[in-house]
Amino acid sequence: MPQAKLKQSLDTVLEYTTQRFGGAPGVVAMVTDRDGNIYEGAAGKRELGKDQPMTADSVFAIFSTTKAIAGTAMMQLVEEGKVRLEDAARKYVPEIAEVGVLTGFDANGQPQTRPPRRDITINDLMLHTAGFSYEFFSADDLRYRTAKNIPTIVSSTRAAFKSVLLFDPGERWSYGVNIDWLGMIVEQQRGKRLGEVMAERIFAQLGITDTAFTMTDSMKARRVTIHDRAADGKLTPLPDLALPQPPEFDSGGGGLYGTVGDYMKFIRMILNDGNGPNGRVLKAETVQRMCQDGLKPMGLSSGGWTTSIPSLSNSGDLFPGLDKGWAYTFQFNREPAPTGRPAGQVAWAGLANCYYWIDRQTGVGGYWATQILPFQDAASYPGYVDFESAVYRGLKA
């Protein structure tokens, strides 16, 4: 499909998503091939009820789409032989050994725990098989945190990640605070904050200038407001809702702010076997390893979630019924996705309805950014699926 026709098709998806009744307030979405962006689009407003239009350089809280970047910082350490994926995490962050497996709650509502049957490895953290969850995806985790007075994940504090294991390491897949522990290991090894490590070893090589845990004044001026969608569909802007600036702790699991244009540079690095415009970020064989299904050999799959905090996330699944694994650190679709994405590719998402995919087979990737809670929004998520589908239709044509 000619570029002009692809642009028209994708612009239509963005316009429909933002202009339809109950749609998303604003969207930025981009598509890249190995050479550069083949589509850049922005529609709607940065904040409902305000005049400021959404622009390509708008700044988003990218939440869990931070994880793949933290995973890259870890794989650089693996390449250098500083850590091994099989290593026990407590070798680097001893406090992880204090986390027990939840066995239940006593008559007074106090949690009961026992030591895990084996150590949590770095590999467990990469694959989300350590036993951790998030308080909004587990009623037990939420109850444990409440009983123990552990702060919420979005407080960006070290204390927030010292929760509880829901099962023994290696038993199951459960999405949770694993990558924050991974970030602590990177900091321990580099002797610097995670944001500094990313800036020096990833962002400089990729020409990324507008992504950080602590926003610059310029980024703050372009920040998109997070909106809340009530059960009746009504959207309310929450201009004061932002991650702590500066954060006490650089959350590798979800603390970055950034532009979609910057994330496209990261996606291109993965498409180009670890190469960036200003230098190599990873070896080709490392990128290949990062994009492999780590759960299949364990007989495990990744799947959906049940919300325990409906204001933060709906219950759901990305492509329900599709067989999915997990890679370092993205979801891996074992079967072709209904959008046209081939089997064996990777993708993931961020809490405020940001979504991306990286297709190394076809040589394309895309990112769809909105700022709405709860996760898997009724307008933004279908918009993303339509967007990815339109890209593959265009490529086929």
Alpha carbon 73 to chain centroid, angstroms: 15
Is 64 part of the annotated catalytic residue set? yes
Q: Round to whole Å and give the CA distance between 67 and 330.
A: 8
Residue with tokens 């409440």: 146
Q: Report how far residue 253's alpha carbon sits from residue 192's, in angstroms, rounded to the nearest whole number.
A: 17
Cβ-contact 29, 367 below 8 angstroms: yes
Shortest CA distance to 120 belongs to which of 77, 64, 161?
Answer: 161
Model confidence over 371-391: pLDDT tens digits? 999 999 999 999 999 999 999
313 is catalytic: no
Q: Over the chain, what is the mean pLDDT?
A: 96
Look-up: residue for tokens 């294991």? 165
CA distance 276 to 215: 23
- Selecting among 9, 64, 174, 380, the annotated active-site residue is 64
- Domain 3-64+192-396 CATH superfamily: DD-peptidase/beta-lactamase superfamily (3.40.710.10)
**Exposed / middle / buried, residue 208 (Cβ in 10 Å: 0-12, 13-18, 19+):** buried
Give one DSSP letter per residue of 186-234, joined into a string. HHHHHTS-HHHHHIIIIIHHHT--S-BSS--HHHHHTBPPEEEE-TTS-
Residue in the structure block whose two tokens are 């329900």: 320
pLDDT digits (tens, 9 = 90+) for 47-81: 999 999 999 999 999 999 999 999 999 999 999 99
Q: How far is CA 166 from CA 109, 110, 129, 294, in A?
A: 16, 15, 10, 20
Distance from the Cα of residue 354 to its chain's centroid: 8
Q: Per-residue DSSP letters for 145-177?
A: HHHHTPPPGGG--GGGG---BSS-TTS----ST
Sign of CA dihedral 199, 263, 307, 371: positive
DSSP alpha helix (H) spans, the chain: 3-19, 67-79, 122-127, 139-148, 178-190, 194-198, 204-206, 217-221, 260-271, 284-290, 380-396
67 is catalytic: yes
- Catalytic one of 92, 134, 175, 367: 175
pLDDT attached to residue 386: 98
Strands 354-359 and 101-105: unpaired
User: Pick the catalytic residue: 67, 162, 265, 324?
Assistant: 67
pLDDT in tens, 329-385: 999 999 999 999 999 999 999 999 999 999 999 999 999 999 999 999 999 999 999
> How many Å apart are CA 229 and CA 248, to the nearest integer?
29
Query: For the chain, which residues make up each domain, given as ranges?
Result: 3-64+192-396, 78-187
Bond into 310 cis (ω within 30) = no
Is the Cβ–Cβ distance between 327 and 291 less than 8 Å? yes
Q: What's the longest Cα–Cα distance across the chain?
A: 66
- Does pLDDT of 1 surpass 80? no
36 pLDDT tier (thresholds 50, 70, 90): very high
Handedness of CA 137, 139, 140, 143 (dihedral sign): positive
Q: What is the mean pLDDT of residues 246-267?
A: 97
Question: Looking at the whole model, is its pTM more than 0.85?
Answer: yes
Q: Would you place residue 153 in the very low, low, confident or very high pLDDT band (cuts 50, 70, 90)? A: confident
- Give the pLDDT score at 154: 86
